[in-house]
């Protein structure tokens, strides 16, 4: 931890490569030099983010940095196991049927009608009437939607053959709105990052609203999964095992106890990995994902990677990876072939080798199950960053 009179935080790294790119290092240095940051943890899926990298964790005593928790607050993975073999989706015609249905069941941006938001979310309050109004408007229209880019609905095969469903989505427009709202009220640190004092009314308001968005994101994923599960039951007589359900957010900040003191731990595209804590680490749309248990290593602030991490920007991937390359990389994985040319920025080759990521964090998590992709459904991202 940062010592008395020391201006720079201690940085601990778990890397899949020998070193990080210069721009990624600049972001690490900025975060480590920022006011009140005590420790920075760099995980093996680290890749360039705006001001703060994805795959980074930062601990403070009093200050909270919205940029270090990610603007898609609560973004994460959820998964559930079906009571059937993954073989049911390996037949081409059934896979095409499922893909067609997913287009109607899981919209990208907004629903065709206002959705009923669960009471557990309505019982929570946002800190400002303007945010509350937006939650009642955009929140109701976007509830149960996927988003685009790296967000996905994926069917996976466990080693023993069981079929799993995994969903990757977040708090949609509301997380970004909450982040912008509070950044406008934040103070600029000496490095340029913006913070709120967690002891002040402004800081407490942000932490409250962030918790609301984390809850919204988890319920959003659950709503998507429920629609898919209902379809599988009605169409194929296949049911899901509720006891297998896992929810694994990776964009948030919260108070935790480490090194004998209470800290605010910010995770941007990073999992919590407390002792025996179960979480999900996703590969690319053509590589395996993992169910893991945390090993509770305090040096990492009890954290792990959330996925493989990009090694190419979206623009670079589209320039270097052709539709033919993507088709070859996906192999037997089913997908919407009408979208093939628009998904090159999500090709497995644009991501780090998940095997190297898992190897680099063997002291952070233990593997409990490997989930190989069978069918991947996602919407193309028009952004090029």
Q: How far apart are CA 48 and CA 56, in angstroms?
A: 10
- Residue 351 DSSP symbol: B
Q: Count CA atoms closer than 13 A to 160's CA, side-chain side.
A: 8
Helix (H, G, I), strand (E, B) or coil at 329: helix
CA torsion angle for 125, 131, 132, 134 (degrees, to 10)? -140
Give strand pairing partners of 384.
Answer: none
Annotated catalytic residue: which of 182, 258, 306, 362?
Answer: 306
Q: How far apart are CA 72 and CA 287, in angstroms?
A: 24
Q: Are 44 and 305 in contact (CB under 8 A)?
A: yes
What token pair was written down for 224? 């998507």
Q: How far apart are CA 327 and CA 146, in angstroms?
A: 23
- 306 as an active site residue: the answer is yes
Cα 290 to Cα 159, 219, 259: the distances in Å are 11, 22, 29
Q: Are 24 and 47 in contact (CB under 8 A)?
A: yes
Active site residue ranges: 306
């Amino acid at each position: 931890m940062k010592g008395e009179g020391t201006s720079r935080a201690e940085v601990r790294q778990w890397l899949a490569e020998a070193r990080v790119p210069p721009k990624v290092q600049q972001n690490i240095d900025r975060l480590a030099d920022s006011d009140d940051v005590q420790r920075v943890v760099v995980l093996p899926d680290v890749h360039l983010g705006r001001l703060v990298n994805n795959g980074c964790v930062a601990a403070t005593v009093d200050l909270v940095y919205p940029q270090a928790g990610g603007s898609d607050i609560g973004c994460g993975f959820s998964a559930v196991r079906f009571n059937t073999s993954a073989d049911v989706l390996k037949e081409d015609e059934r896979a095409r049927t499922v893909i067609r249905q997913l287009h109607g069941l899981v919209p990208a941006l907004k629903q065709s009608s206002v959705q009923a938001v669960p009471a557990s979310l309505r019982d929570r309050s946002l800190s400002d009437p303007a945010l509350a109004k937006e939650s009642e408007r955009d929140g109701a229209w976007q509830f149960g939607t996927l988003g685009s880019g790296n967000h996905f609905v994926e069917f996976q095969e466990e080693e023993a053959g069981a079929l799993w469903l995994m969903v990757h989505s977040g708090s949609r427009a509301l997380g970004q709105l909450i982040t912008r709202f509070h950044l406008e009220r934040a103070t600029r640190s000496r490095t340029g990052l913006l913070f709120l004092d967690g002891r002040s009314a402004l800081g407490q308001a942000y932490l409250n609203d962030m918790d609301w968005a984390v809850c919204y994101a988890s319920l959003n994923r659950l709503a998507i999964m429920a629609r898919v599960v209902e379809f599988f039951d009605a169409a194929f007589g296949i049911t899901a095992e509720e006891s297998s359900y896992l929810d694994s957010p990776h964009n948030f900040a919260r108070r935790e106890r480490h090194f004998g003191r209470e800290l605010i731990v910010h995770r941007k595209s990073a999992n919590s990995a407390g002792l025996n804590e179960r979480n999900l680490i996703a590969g690319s749309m053509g590589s395996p994902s993992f169910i893991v248990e945390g090993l509770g290593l305090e040096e990492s602030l009890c954290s792990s990677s959330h996925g493989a991490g990009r090694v190419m920007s979206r623009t670079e991937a589209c320039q270097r990876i052709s539709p033919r390359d993507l088709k070859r990389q996906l192999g037997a994985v089913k997908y919407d072939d009408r979208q093939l040319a628009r998904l090159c920025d999500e090709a497995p080759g644009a991501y780090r080798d998940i095997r190297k990521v898992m190897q680099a964090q063997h002291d952070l998590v233990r593997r409990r199950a490997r989930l190989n992709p069978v069918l991947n459904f996602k919407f193309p991202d028009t952004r090029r960053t």
